[in-house]
Amino acid sequence: MPFAKINNVSLYYDTYGDGAPLVLIAGLGSDSMSWFNVIEDLSRNNKLIVFDNRGCGRSDYPSGKITIEDMAEDTVGLLEYLKIDKANILGHSMGGYIAQEIAIKYPERVNNLILVSTAANTTARNKLIFKEFSEILNTDGYSDLWFKSWIEWLFTEEVQSDTSFIDLFISNALKYPYLQKPSGFDSQVNAINSYDCRSNLPLIKAKTFIISGSEDILITPENSLFLSEKIPDSTLEILNNAAHSIQVENPKAFSEAVLKFQKSLVKK
């Protein structure tokens, strides 16, 4: 298992394929396995770099608070460790917060930016939702009910009605050997809830592709529209029949959208 010591934190990472480097940054409560369904398609034309954020998966759980800025620094540090000067950066949900911070603070390290199911800040409603999930997890631990409650926010109603998919999803989640510790989930919630880059969006210089699911009720298409209006060189695509976790419920549509964006850049 490859690990890199970055900013005094041991980060688990892996790479797949060849081509231009594409970094995939996972969201709240997720680690590098969240990309499992899209690795095969995306690695055909890219050198994928996937990793576990600090406080998650196989990476270290440092004491003290974690910020989006910390995780952005970790990502840039991993690029330096891998001797990659510049990369395409893709972030989902909280990973999109991290990706935006990298593009704002380290524009020279970002070739193109892909923001998926994300926003520039967390709404008051979502702050309460995330805090409630964190409190339940700290009190009761992981359970079928905890994951079922999350599923209502992550997937379309059509997918939620597919009992075989949902049962398998929950079963796999509960058996996963690297489930995030409640303390890590709480730290990431605090990081998300305290981050706000709205005023800095015009500073993003990278060509940016924004993806949103039409049925995302957690971070809605309106959030993506705001990003597209504030980031100068950006385009927005809203995928039909998709909710928050597009790469999990509809990996083909997710991969096709990303590869289509990349192909459009080559043509230019």
Note down the domain range covering 211: 3-267
- pLDDT tens digits, 167-226: 999 999 999 999 999 999 999 999 999 999 999 999 999 999 999 999 999 999 999 999
Q: What local confidence, expressed as pLDDT, does residue 160 receive? A: 95
110 class by beta-carbon count within 10 Å (0-12 exposed, 13-18 middle, 19+ buried): buried
Structure tokens belonging to residue 41: 């398609």
Q: What local confidence, expressed as pLDDT, does residue 267 receive? A: 63
We report the CATH number of the domain holding residue 23 as 3.40.50.1820
DSSP state at residue 161: T
Mean pLDDT of the chain: 96
Q: What local confidence, expressed as pLDDT, does residue 266 receive? A: 77
Q: What local confidence, expressed as pLDDT, does residue 50 receive? A: 98
- pLDDT tens digits, 157-168: 999 999 999 999
The residues with which 50 forms a beta bridge, in sequence order, are 14, 24
What 3-state class would DSSP assign to 44?
A: coil
User: Low-confidence residues of the chain, pLDDT below 50?
Assistant: none
Domain count for the chain, please give it.
1
What torsion do the CA atoms of 45, 117, 74, 17 make, to the nearest 10 degrees?
A: -10
Q: Using CA atoms, how far apart are residues 254 and 66, in angstroms rounded to an integer?
A: 29
Residue with tokens 């969006």: 201
- Apex 63 CA angle, 98 and 124, nearest 5: 45
